[in-house]
Amino acid sequence: MKIFILLILLVSFPTFASTGISGFFNDSLTFFQDIWFFITDTIPETINSFFVWLYTYVVYLYFKIHFESLSFAHSVALSFLDMIDLTSIVNNATSALSPDLKQVAVDVRFFDSLTLLVEALITRLVYKW
């Protein structure tokens, strides 16, 4: 009896007025088909879209963490290079050279390339860390 009252409450009464008892059965069929569609199609699609979203968010976090670690390593490398002050070391070392040899090294930009190479090696060491 409770099920019958529940079915009466779920079905619209204008259906009885226009189509009779066959409209009731059509509405009941549509109601249960909607429930079946929800169980067999909507729930699996929602679960699938959740896992797609979760995978996308994990990939986003992966790149975000790598970006933050690289920016931190870059700041560490810059502070390390500032503490070393490589250009003053190179300038002190070149003061012992003869003027002709010093001019040749400056013309071929030996000291700039040496400074760049050492800075790159230090930065690589920090990034590997």
pLDDT in tens, 83-102: 888 888 888 888 888 888 88
Eight-state DSSP code of residue 39: I
E strand or H helix at 121, and its extent?
Answer: helix 110-128
E strand or H helix at 105, and its extent?
Answer: helix 99-107
Eight-state DSSP code of residue 96: T
Q: How confident is the model at residue 49 (pLDDT cuts 50, 70, 90)?
A: very high
Per-residue pLDDT, 62: 98
Q: Give the mean pLDDT of 13-20.
A: 58
Q: How confident is the model at residue 14 (pLDDT cuts 50, 70, 90)?
A: low
This prediction has a pTM of: 0.56
Q: Give the mean pLDDT of 37-62.
A: 97
Total length of the chain = 129
Q: Give the start-to-end residue ranges of the domains of the chain.
A: 1-59
Per-residue pLDDT, 63: 97
Phi, psi at residue 108, to the nearest 5°?
Answer: -90, 5
- CA-to-CA separations, 46 to 1, 51, 89, in angstroms, rounded: 36, 9, 64
Per-residue pLDDT, 65: 96
- Say whether pLDDT at 16 is over 80: no
- List pLDDT tens digits, range 51-85: 999 999 999 999 999 999 989 988 888 888 888 88
**Cα 80 to Cα 85: distance, rounded to the nearest angstrom:** 9
Per-residue pLDDT, 96: 85
- CA-to-CA separations, 110 to 4, 32, 94, 102, in angstroms, rounded: 96, 83, 11, 10
Structure tokens at 24: 């009731």
